[in-house]
Structures are given as C-alpha cells and as structure tokens.
Structure 1
Amino acid sequence: MATTSQGSLRQRNVPGSSKQKNEGSADAGPVLDEVAKPSKKTSGSNSELNYRIAFGVITVLAFISRFWGISHPNEVVFDEVHFGKFASYYLEHTYFFDVHPPFGKLLFALMGWLVGYDGHFHFENIGDSYIANKVPYVAFRAMPALLGSLTVSVVFLIMWESAYSLPACLVAAGLVLLDNAHIGQTRLILLDATLVLAMACSLLCYIKFYKLRHEPFSRKWWKWLILTGFALSCDISTKYVGLFAFVTIGSAVIIDMWDLLDFKRPGGALSLREFGYHFGARALGLIIVPFLFYLFWFQVHFAILTRSGPGDDFMTPEFQETLSDNIMLANAVNIDYYDTITIQHKETKAYLHSHDAKYPLRYDDGRVSSQGQQVTGYPFNDTNNYWQILPPVDDHQMGHHVKNHDLVRLRHLVTDTVLLSHDVASPYYPTNQEFTTVSVADAYGSRADDTLFEIRIEHGKPNQEFKSISSHFKLIHNPSKVAMWTHTKPLPEWAHKQQEINGNKQIAPSSNVWLVEDVPSVPEDSPRRVKEERQVKRLPFLRKWFELQRSMFWHNNQLTSSHPYASQPYQWPFLLRGVSFWTQNDTRQQIYFLGNPIGWWIASSLLAVYAGIIGADQVSLRRGVDALDHRTRSRLYNSTGFFFLAWATHYFPFYLMGRQLFLHHYLPAHLASCLIVGALLEFVFNTEPSAEEPSHDKVGKKQGPGPQRHVTARERFAGQSMVSAWIACVVILGLALAGWYFFLPLTYGYPGLSVDQVLRRKWLGYDLHFAK
C-alpha cells in the first residue's frame, strides 16, 4: 500500500480486522505491552543514568521546596487547629471525634511520640503561639512535608515506569514540584499530603502490577498487587474521598478482566477456572486486603483512645462506658415518675421548651395552625425547660422507676400544661406533626391518647431503667408513631426565633435522639446521686466500628453550611479562587492557598486537548482514515487514558456532593492532570516515526575507513522530535517556575507585600488581604 508524505494522514485497512483485534487485546489496560525501562527504548547505558540523575535532582528540589522556611509562621495556621489537636488527643489517650478516618492523624501522633511530645497543647485558636506553648510544630509539619516531597518522586516514577521519555517525566513531575497548592498544603499540619501520596502510590503500584501481567501469580506479581491494595487502603483511611482511587483502579481492573475473558486473546484463552483464580486474586488484593488494613487503623484508634474526652457526646452511652473517667455517665441518675427533668436534643443541644405564646392562626404560606401553645427548642437552660414526667394513669407511687418502652406524659411546670402532638401540620414541615400543649384536665380526659409518648431508649433492652445523661432516647408519640424532632432553622419572630419542634414520620434517623440533661427535682446531696465506682466495660470491636462509621457519615453529610472560602468544582480547573489560611497584620504577611495559575491552566487546557484528540481520532477511524500507528494509539488510549480516568474519577464525583467543598479537594485530580500533560508532550513530539517508512531511505552516509554508518530518516526524525520535546519541556517548566516564584510570598507566608504587590497578584477572584 502506498504511503503519503511524512506527517500526513495515511490510508490503512479499516480497523477491526482479526490481526488488529488480537494486537489491541494485548494492549488493553493502563499501560502497554511495549512498556519497558526507558533504557531499552534508547541505546546505551547513559539513558538509564540520565533518568536516575533527573530523578535524584527533582527529588532534592522537592525536599527543598517543601522544607524551605517550614518554621514560619510559628503559630497555629488554618486547620492546624483540628489536626494538631487530634494528635495531642492521641498522645493523651483522650477520645475525640472527627469525620475523617484515623490513618493520617495517626501519622501526626507518631511524629509527636517520636519527638517526645506529651500533647499538652490543644491548638485551640488560629494564631496561638507555638513557641510560647513549647510545641514541636516543626516536627509535626515535617511529616506532610516529607510525604509531599515523595509525591513529586512518585509522579516521576509513574511516568518512568510507563516508559515515557525523560522530557515527559520531567514535565509531569515538574508541574507538581512547582505547584503552589501542593507546596502550601504539605507545609502545614494537614491531611492532604498523605491523601495525595497514597493516591499517587496506588497508580504507581498498579502500573508495576500490570506490567507483570504475563507473569501471573509470580512473587513480584503478588507483591505489587498487595502493595496496590495497601496504597488504596491508606488513601481511604485518610479521607473518604480516597474511595475515588478505588474507582480508578477498579475501572482499570474491570477492563483488564474483560480482556482476560476473551477467548481470542494472545497466548491462548483462559479456562473459567483460571479466570476465577485471576478474579479471586484481584478481589483479595484490591478489596479484602485494603478493607482489613482499613479496619486495622480503627483498631489502633480505639486502642489508643481509652479515656473520656470531647468525642463522648457523639457516641452512645454503651460506647462511652468503654472509656475511663467518663464524668457524664458517673453522674447519671435514675429517673422516677413525678421527677422534674430537662430534655436536650443530642445534636443541636437545644432544650425542649414551652411558653405562653400561641402559634399564629396562619403561617406565611397560608396554612392554618391549631393556635395552641408553642413548643420550641431553646439553646439556654431556664425554668421554661422544666417538664415533669407523669405515668399514663395517675396511680403510680412516688419513687417508681421509668423504664424503656414505658408510656409517659410530660407536664410543663411553668404553664401547667401537658405535651401533645396531633394531626396538624408543623410550621415549617407540612408533612410533620405539630407539637403543642393542653390542660391537665384534657390530658387525662378528651385528649388522653394524644398526650401519651413512649420512651424508646437507643439500643435499650426490655425493662432497662431510664437514666439522665446516659439514656439516649427517642420520644415516640404513641397514637401516630412519629418521633419528636428539631432542627436548626429558626422560627420567625412570633416564636422569638427559637427552634421548631415537630413530629417526624421517619423514626430511624439519629437526629431524633434526645437525652435527659438534668433532674432538677433531685438535690445535689440526694442519695440518688451517689454512685459506686464504675468499671470500664468492653464492646466488640465491630460494634464500636459500626457505630463510629454511622456517626462519621452522618456528620460528614451535615457539613453543608456556607463558608467564605468554599468553592465549586467548576472553579477548580481554572483556579478561580483560593483560601485564606493565615494573616499577620503587623508585617502584612499572609498565606493564601492557591495553585500555580500557569501550571493549572496548562494542565486544564491539555485535558481539553486530549478529549479533542480522542474525538478527532474516532471520527477519522469512522471515515476509514488511520492517522496513528498502533503503538501510538495504544499508548494514547491506554496509558494516557488511564491518567485521564484518574483525573475524571477524582473530579466529577464532587458535582454530586452537597457538603462544603474547597480548592484542596482538587489536588488528587490535579496530580492526574499533570501526568496527562507529560503524556501529551510525548504524543505531540513523538520520537517514533511511522512504521511504514521505506526501509531503503538512508541518508548521511559516513565517510572514511571502517564500517559505514547510515543515519536513517527514522533516526533523524527521532532526534529532531527529541530536541523539540526538550524545548517544549523547558518552556513549560520555565513558565511554571515563573508562576511559582510570582506567588511564592502567598505560599510561604513571607515576605510581606505592599498594596501594589498585593494588587498585582489579585488575578481572577483571588480575595487577598492587605489590598488597600
């Protein structure tokens, strides 16, 4: 078949022939069959040496950029108030609660333990001095700085292991090296350095595992499979968004398994038994092993945190009984009929409250109320929160204990009325029932059924005694089976902007849980308040783990309130705004979390270019025009496609989230976009000319004695392409270096900037301080 001039489209056989299918099946997956060490791609041992030298240099630069000036500022910055505090709690064995899994926080605690820190400082406020409080903060910051430096090295290794040229490796790693966001996030006591490194390691380990696909079940094959699973476990054990890495690797595994199922695959078809072995091995290495490691970090978490602490309130009384020194449980009082109690909502901390005011005749939307007495949630404790607990029939003797599943009535002492719920819509929720009160006479007369409520203790046993503090319960309206519930949206002025109390038809949610905060009718010196020394109880690990998981997921989903520096996913690839971390008014210094705009815009642009290349290639193939050789297309779809998959799976899921989002959530996706930049540099400046080049085309015959050396057009093309690739590499990294240097004062927090210098850096929506 005739060929056209170099660089033009070449007509080939229509894709889909038997030969092409067999070749393609061998290449499906994240890396190519042709993948080898770059030293094999070019002749001579110098190539391997060049990669090693470049790897060493870029690793040293990564450590310098992350550790340079790490002691500044010497005070608490941004979310160091959280993760530094958690490290201190670990060192004090004090139980705390956080919405993130424990692995990243355990690394900080390990560093504190290694330097002999006792956890005395609790990082209460941004701006608190580390020096005055004698905190080894540099050691704490050194942990993420170390991990962030290694991330740059891992990016280089990902490209190297995928057999990309040295310029491609340097561009990908250099964009991460010179990115202000990656630097800024890894110089402080934050979790993202651990998360991003674990994500990058999962890509690297899976590539090394995939390269051994022709040696299944060998020792190295198992090693890299297990290491991939371990990296995935570290990812999700740091933050739950680490699940996205499972989606990335899982998608590649599904493609790989689909090709293994092909009976036409090179090397012969697998039997169903052999296929089952492959499936089982991957399930073991990428699902079971990561899950076991995930459980292991929680076991360490529970083993360390043995003392009562600020996290107790998030857990059930049964869980709290496994912690020593729990004051709340020690002060629990058995509740008797006719006791006066105050009832508090577990999550919002509002008290069940009532007062003389009535519900308005009509609400703003036109619905009609009962005009009964208001029942609300009130954040402060006063006498309007006092309720007397009454039996269903007034024949119980004083001193009779209230128990789980008992039916009771609640009498509001100040207004001498009884709590009631009925089939009238609440102020804000037309589907939920209104709570009000009626007279005592009606409560034991015509409205007797509507004033009956069931005490349903969470995880309680039959006849379990109802206690203050320790008995978390749901108050279930007996006739209608709705649960008493409240929320934080305040009622209008007619209710003094207090919280709405209503009947929730969904009984299961934990937001329906209340507790008796105190029993005012029992004097402090009463024998009922005298308790024996309590023994610490034990709960099975899985029960504690399940309870903590439920609480973590629930509170994570509640992070929906607005934040001045929150951003939306569509803003991230274009770096439209950042986050203020720290300011110092006297010196006009500030740390503003922001990526390198030039690097981010290059990466985002090439994401669109990659999508365009794939689209154009597909259209060309539809028209019978094949512009790419097999190896180039295989690398473009499989290796670069794997990086694009990593970017997409770490980016698009955020559009489905309703919680607060910030720029740092894009860092794993940004790393993947840097890999794509390196891969596309190799694609554009391809050092491999067309395989259809005429073999007789030789030029540049060497003169003189000895064997003649012919320089083929292929070699000349490769040399020119490599020069072009190096030029592009230098240009891209030069631009990135300029962007890094320009925004350096905002990343490192010094030097302070004048008004004019700040204004010159106020690109797009960057809401910088000291701009006037």
Structure 2
Amino acid sequence: VFLLAAAFRFHHIDHPAAVVFDEVHFGKFAAYYLRREYFFDVHPPLAKLLLAFQGWLVGFDGQFEFENIGDSYIENKVPYVGMRTLPALLGSAVPAVVYAIMRESGYPRIVGLFSASLVLFDNAHVGQTRLILLDAPMILFMALAFYSYIRFYKLRYSEFTRPWWTWMTLTGVFLSLTISCKMVGLFAFLSVGTAVAVDLWNLLDVKRGLTIKQFYRHFAARAVGLILVPAVVYLFWFWVHFTVLTKSGTGDDFMSPAFQQTLQDSPLTALAEEIRYYDTLTIKHKGTKAFLHSHPERYPLKYDDGRISSAGQQVTGYPFNDTNNYWIVEPTREVPPSGRGRIVRHGDVITLRHVGTNTTLMTHDVASTTMATNTEFTTWDGTCANEQECEIRKRDVQFELQIDEAHAGQQWMTKSGYFQLVHVPTRVAMWTHVEPPLPEWAFKQQEVNGNKNLKDRTTFWFADEIITDPSKPVDLARPKKEPRQPAKMSFFRKFFELQLLMLQHNAGLTDSHPYASGPINWPFLLSGISFWTGRAETREQVYLIGNIVSWWICIMASSVFIGILAADQLAQRRGLEPIPTPVRNRLYNTGGFFLVAWLYHYLPFFTMSRQLFLHHYLPAHLITALVAGVVFSFLFCGDTINYPVSVADLRTRRRPRSRAVVGKGMILAFVIANALIIAGFVFLAPLTYGTPGLSAEEVHNRRLLSTWTLVSLSLSLSGPPLKRLTLGGTAAFRQVRRETLRRSQGHMQRDEISASSCRFDSSCYIPHRAAHGSRPPPPRLVRVCAETTRHPFAGDADHFSSSSVVLYHLGPRC
C-alpha cells in the first residue's frame, strides 16, 4: 500500500516546475526559517519547520521567496523536487496507516484494503500531499494518533504495563504533533478525548470492580499521557520556532513592541527614543494604526438623533501622516529645564497640546457621536467663563500615562511600548474604532472617544515619532539614537502573545475567494480549487478535486451506517435483536468512534466565518473511509467477525476465537468497487498532475459536475482586430472579468477586450484593442458567456504565454 501511494505521489513530481497555489505561502515561510527572519502565520510551526528542514537538506538557500503562483523554479534554481519529496513521503504513509487502523480494529485484510483504497486512489489526497503544503504531515499524524489510541485501548485489560504506557504516550505525542501542524488538529484531540472520557466513565462503574484509588490512578495516568505530554510537545515546537527566528522580518508588525525588541536588527531597537516633556509627537492607535488627529472643524451642536454635543473641536483618528497629527507633551507639575528630570515616565499625569490649533486634548461627561455610553473627546482653547469653569477644564485635560506591562518609573519610549491614556477625573481610556465612521461633517474619519473598560486591549496606543523643530536648540542631554542589543522576553510571554494572535487572525480570514466553498459542498465534491494553470494551448492545469467515486462511496457509507444504528435502536425498543451482540459491540465501539471523529472533523466548519476550502475536508474524508470499511464489513461479513480484538489476558483468554468469513460476494464487491475507484482516479489524473495537456473536449468531459470550473478555453491575441473566441461547455451563463496580460520587452502590457453576447458550443467575434505603454489603464468589466476560469489570485502576477486568457468569476463564489 505504501509503495503504491508513493508511486502515485512521485509520478511527475517535477511538474509543474513552478509555484503552485499555497506553495506561495509555505515555501516562503521555509525561506524565512532558513534566513532566520521572523514571520507571522496563523498555523503552528511544526509542519513549516519540517518543510524548512527538508529545504536545508536539499540545498535550498532561502533566497527565493515564492512571490507569485507560476514563478519558475527552474529559472530561480530552487530544489523544488527535493522539497516536495518530504510531503510526498509523509502522504504516502497515510493509506498504509488507514489499512493498519482497520486491521488493528479487528477487520479482515480485505476490509483494510477497501478503506485504504478509498484514500490511496483519491485524487485530492494525492494532489494535496505531493506539494510544499502542510496537510501531508498533519493528516499522517492524525491517522497515527487514531492508530495509537486503538492499540492503547486494546490493552485495557493489561493496564499499567509497559506496552500500555507506550501506546498511551504515543497517542498523546501524535495528537500533539497533529495540532502542532494546524489548529484543526484540535478536532483529533476532541475525538480521542471523547473516547477517553467514555472509557473513564465505564471504569467508574462499580461493576468493573475498581476502587476509587484505582480509578484515580487511571485518571492520573491519562492526564499525564494525553494532556501533559502533548502540552510539552506542543510548547517544544514553539520554542524551536522562537529559537530559529531571531532576526527582524515581515512578521514584526503583528507583534507587540516588547516582542519586536527581542529580534536582531529590529527597527524598534534602532529607532526608539525616550520621550521628554515638551517633545512634539505623533501618536498611533495599536489596532487601527490611525493617528490621533484634530482640526479646526467642530462637532455639530445637535446630532441627527436629537442628542446634544459640546460643539467643541473635533478629535478623530486619521490614517495618514499630517501636521494636524502633532501633539506636544506637557507636564502637570514643575519639571527642570533640561536633563533626565524631563523624561516622561509610566504613571505620570500629562496633557497633550495640539500644535495646529494650540488647544489641549480633553474629554468630559458628554456622550460621543456614535456611542452614547462613551465620552466625547475634544480640545480646550484655554478660555472659560469663570474661575470655577477654569478649574473644571484644568482637570478635564489631565491624563494618566499607563504603559503596558511597565514597572514603576519606566520611561516612555517611541515605537517600543503600548500605552493607555486614562482620563484622571472620569477614568476612561482614549479609544478609537473603524466602524461606524464619523459622518460627512467629520470627513468620514474615525471617532475617538472615552472607553470605560480599561481592560479592553483595543484602548492601547503607541508614540510613533518625535517631531524635531530645527528652530529649537538641541537638547544635548538627550541620548543619541543608537542600535541597542535585543531585549529579553520570557518564552511563555512570547508563546501566549503569538497564540492569541494566531487565533484572532485565523478567525479574521473572512475575505471572499473565488474557490472558497462551504462545508455542505465538500462530501459531494460540488466544487474544487484551481491550483495552477499552464499554457493555454495545451490547457495544462492542476485542479484539486477528489475522486468522485471514492468520495460518494464514503458519504453514502456514512449515511448507511447512521441508518443501521437508527434501525437497530428502533428494533431493540420493540424487543428485537437483529444484530448479534458481538457484531453490535464491534459496530458501536469501532464504527461509533469513527463516526464521532468524522462529526468532530466536519461539523465545526459550519460555525466558522473564515475562508474555507475543499482541502479542509481531507481529514474528515479519511475518517469516512474508515466508516466505509465498517459498513463494507457489516454488509458482506454478516455475523462473523474477528474475535477477540483486545490483547488476551486472564479475562479474555477463555473466550473462543473466531475469524470473519470472506465469501465470494465480498470479494466480488471489493473488485467491482476498486475497479470503479481506480477508473475514477485515472480519469481525473491529468487534473491532479497537471499533465498531459487536454483538448477542450477532454476538459469538458472531465467536468463531471456543472459546478467544477475547469479551464477549457484558449484565445490567440495576435492577428486582425477582430478575434475569434471559441467557448465550450453547457453551463449557465456567468459574468466574468477578462484580463489579458503579456510580457513585452521588460514591461507589462494590458490588452483590453470587450465582448458581445455569445453562446456556448459556438464561436463569436469580439472587438479587440490594445492599450500600449508601461502604465496601462485598468481592465474594464465585460460580459462573456464563459464557463471557465483561470487562477483566482488577481493580485498576483500569473505567468503564462502571450496567447492565453485569464478569466475571473464574478458569480456567487467570487
């Protein structure tokens, strides 16, 4: 099984010799590891570390950054075949582990081979695990975790022996390795965790004869092997991650200033300056990166909802650098004219004077524009009607500087520390938000207001820059800006900061994508993903789609299994026993575990608002292959099973052994099913490997469902002004954007095409004009009756010949 899987993955592994789909990301991360430059990603580090290690082994120097899909590996001398070898090897082991899982669960060889073939001959598994991607190690570790748990559970009558401890510990290790590759590994934890909880519940039963002390011993052992050990392993890979990435890189801006200062060559350690009273600053919000801004325009006295404002000067958040972002830090106490006594420190009470209008920042007990529960921020020009009002205003402009995680007396620095500006009289923190923006009278800028929740992490700001005034004398006591040594930060502070950011940004991946799809589509293969497209004349393309025979067998088997369980429960309610007890136990224990694991790996995606793709279903598809094996055995083995499954001891040795009877009907069903599965794999193989090229008719024939978006169109751009466009297929009309690019003498030219309406299975003429020059106008939207698509990354520079066309869907999946 392993050798067959390896043959499928290594077949044409050198094609395409260009960056494919998410190799753009994970190849780039491998390069960053080799250059030791810090980067940020939403996934844990293990799989990326493995790819980087493989790159180092095969001589990759990390200089190629995988910038665009289609960038040539050959031209850039990248050892891409060697880098793809590791995922291919790991992916090759997966079908073998599937076979081993079924065998260890007590099923005959033919059932193990049936489950393994559903994964072995699956185009999606082959396509996803032969590229520089994270899925191969993650899926393998998940399968090994299930295998290890089954081996552990079979030793339940030999508790606390060396094999018992070994397999329990391996279960924890593989679970940790799974989640160390991708956060979706948490679903494997939940699957095994549910089985362990049920096992412990059964151990607590008085009929098992365990004392409470013995039960606690079982509980403690599982806590060590399945919680503590995985936690240590998970932390270890982050320790390696931080140890390797010691230099400043593209991920700096995601991290806190304290974190950034731990990196070599960080701009913060080079540019940070201590802030002194009467310095002129620009201040930026941590979350939105908007500058604290003010201008002479004032709030309207009465808002549209009838509320009244102070009609004071507007204070807003502004995304661009501007002189109206300048603020002077002023003390509320006497400070020396020069020297270290002028340094602003954590806990100081300060005021901020706006340079452009010579007014002082303040807030007061007036509701803000968009939030009636928050206070309005405005400025005070120093005038007042009477002495009492002056005293109130002098308090309203006072703010306490609270630097994040600072010690008493810590100096305030630019770039390198977040702070809250807490209003002294009302104890609200200065805050800004993007939505909703202020109305037109404030130029749609961000509102700045007072937030009562001082624990809100979005109330933090940072001093961006000290603005020097050439007309003022230089403060000779101020130290010069000089690069400093990287600061120290504890591992756990780094870990928790990164972990929180990973979760936040993972949930924030909500942008639309032409090839994103919902979970309801996945089991039925209603859509795939265009990974790469080559020359238009040959229609070479890598299109991630599963073997429709394999996937439909799996989902039908899962449905049948649920039906069997429901029918058995109904029969038992009527006093009937249609299934022998040993068969029922096997069906519920093994099949039930697999079914629960499938639900854990599938249903949570329905609750996610982030971008989702077909490849997110691959772990669940593997599990449905296990369920399919259970159903296959139940339907064709009848009431004969391998028994007992658990390792024999005094409590199981007396039970009679039995072996499942493999009849001719089962063999015939196996042969027919595998013939169909193999035929489906071979039929879709050109889309998996991207070679050989196909004719338009052959592409159309492989479009088994109307929702599959395959490239079956080519267009020549040379010749007379009227171009002939040939379209194939029978799908419904779609609106698409056509953007044709070609390389010419070192610069890019854009040919704009407008099209009249045309029909499928026919040809039509479209007027064509070329826009020359190095800065072409943007493409216009045109309506073309096309059913095909190129790669979705409009922002990336797709590389293709001068006689090809790019089509972007503007339909419901855009």
| Fold-level similarity (TM above 0.5) | yes
What do the CA deviations read for 1:688-736 (whole angstroms, capped 9, x no partner)? 4599xxxxxxxxxxxxxxxxxxxxxxx9x976x6222222223333333
Map of 1:574 onto structure 2: 524
1:649 matches 2:597: no
Matches of 2:143 and 2:291, distance apart in 1: 48
Once the two structures are TM-superposed, the CA of residue 581 in structure 1 deviates from its matched residue by 2.7
Map of 1:633 onto structure 2: 584
Map of 2:410 onto structure 1: 464
Change in Cα spacing, 1:371 to 1:122, as seen in structure 2 (3 Å) is farther
1:739 matches 2:680: yes
1:510 matches 2:457: yes
Once the two structures are TM-superposed, the CA of residue 754 in structure 1 deviates from its matched residue by 4.6
Change in Cα spacing, 1:343 to 1:217, as seen in structure 2 (3 Å) is same
Change in Cα spacing, 1:408 to 1:214, as seen in structure 2 (3 Å) is same
* Aligned partner of 1:109 among 42, 45, 52: 52
3-state SS, counterpart of residue 85 of structure 1:
helix
Once the two structures are TM-superposed, the CA of residue 294 in structure 1 deviates from its matched residue by 1.0
| TM-score, length of structure 1 as denominator length | 0.83
Map of 2:394 onto structure 1: 448
Residue type at the aligned position of 1:337: Y
Map of 2:249 onto structure 1: 309
3-state SS, counterpart of residue 355 of structure 1:
strand
Matches of 1:758 and 1:371, distance apart in 2: 67
Cα contact 2:59–2:79 (8 A) shared by 1: no
Change in Cα spacing, 1:428 to 1:285, as seen in structure 2 (3 Å) is same
1:427-442 superposed matches below 5 A: 427-441=369-383
Residue type at the aligned position of 1:520: I
Once the two structures are TM-superposed, the CA of residue 457 in structure 1 deviates from its matched residue by 1.0
Matches of 2:351 and 2:122, distance apart in 1: 63
Change in Cα spacing, 1:501 to 1:83, as seen in structure 2 (3 Å) is farther
1:520 matches 2:499: no
1:619-698 superposed matches below 5 A: 619-688=570-639
3-state SS, counterpart of residue 680 of structure 1:
helix
Once the two structures are TM-superposed, the CA of residue 687 in structure 1 deviates from its matched residue by 4.6
Matches of 1:482 and 1:295, distance apart in 2: 37
3-state SS, counterpart of residue 743 of structure 1:
helix
1:589 matches 2:572: no
Map of 1:97 onto structure 2: 40
Change in Cα spacing, 1:75 to 1:426, as seen in structure 2 (3 Å) is farther
Once the two structures are TM-superposed, the CA of residue 85 in structure 1 deviates from its matched residue by 1.7
**Bigger shift: 234-243 or 397-406?**
397-406
**Bigger shift: 525-534 or 89-98?**
525-534
Once the two structures are TM-superposed, the CA of residue 199 in structure 1 deviates from its matched residue by 0.8
Matches of 1:308 and 1:583, distance apart in 2: 35
1:565 matches 2:565: no
Change in Cα spacing, 1:137 to 1:430, as seen in structure 2 (3 Å) is farther
Cα contact 1:336–1:398 (8 A) shared by 2: no
1:610 matches 2:552: no
3-state SS, counterpart of residue 237 of structure 1:
helix
| TM-score, length of structure 2 as denominator length | 0.79
Matches of 1:93 and 1:632, distance apart in 2: 56
RMSD (Å) for aligned C-alpha atoms: 2.9
3-state SS, counterpart of residue 181 of structure 2:
coil
* Aligned partner of 1:295 among 212, 235, 240: 235
Cα contact 1:629–1:690 (8 A) shared by 2: no
Change in Cα spacing, 1:361 to 1:579, as seen in structure 2 (3 Å) is farther
1:180 matches 2:127: no
Change in Cα spacing, 1:191 to 1:520, as seen in structure 2 (3 Å) is same
Once the two structures are TM-superposed, the CA of residue 274 in structure 1 deviates from its matched residue by 2.3
Matches of 2:412 and 2:253, distance apart in 1: 18
Cα contact 2:257–2:268 (8 A) shared by 1: no
Cα contact 2:327–2:353 (8 A) shared by 1: yes
Cα contact 1:317–1:329 (8 A) shared by 2: no
What stretches of structure 2 of length at least 5 have no aligned partner?
643-657, 714-786, 789-814
Matches of 2:244 and 2:29, distance apart in 1: 12
Cα contact 1:490–1:498 (8 A) shared by 2: no
Residue type at the aligned position of 2:673: I
Map of 1:320 onto structure 2: 260
Residue type at the aligned position of 2:429: A
Matches of 1:98 and 1:684, distance apart in 2: 46
Map of 2:276 onto structure 1: 336
Map of 1:477 onto structure 2: 423
What do the CA deviations read for 1:431-455 (whole angstroms, capped 9, x no partner)? 4444333434369665333333222
Matches of 2:289 and 2:686, distance apart in 1: 43
Matches of 1:562 and 1:494, distance apart in 2: 32
Residue type at the aligned position of 2:355: L
Once the two structures are TM-superposed, the CA of residue 494 in structure 1 deviates from its matched residue by 4.5
1:229-240 superposed matches below 5 A: 229-240=172-183
Matches of 2:679 and 2:451, distance apart in 1: 58
Residue type at the aligned position of 1:93: R
Map of 1:17 onto structure 2: none
Of structures 1 and 2, the one scoring higher in RCO (CA 8 A, sep 6+) is: 1
Cα contact 1:762–1:768 (8 A) shared by 2: no
* Aligned partner of 1:486 among 432, 435, 441: 432
Once the two structures are TM-superposed, the CA of residue 208 in structure 1 deviates from its matched residue by 0.9
1:551 matches 2:498: no
What stretches of structure 1 of length at least 5 have no aligned partner?
1-57, 692-714
Map of 1:703 onto structure 2: none
1:353 matches 2:300: no
Residue type at the aligned position of 2:11: W
**Bigger shift: 307-316 or 213-222?**
307-316
Residue type at the aligned position of 2:343: H
Residue type at the aligned position of 1:210: Y
Map of 1:409 onto structure 2: 351
Map of 1:273 onto structure 2: 213
3-state SS, counterpart of residue 626 of structure 1:
coil
Matches of 2:693 and 2:366, distance apart in 1: 62
Matches of 1:584 and 1:437, distance apart in 2: 61
User: Which structure carries more helix by proportion?
Assistant: 1
Matches of 1:643 and 1:505, distance apart in 2: 49
Map of 1:46 onto structure 2: none
Cα contact 2:579–2:639 (8 A) shared by 1: no
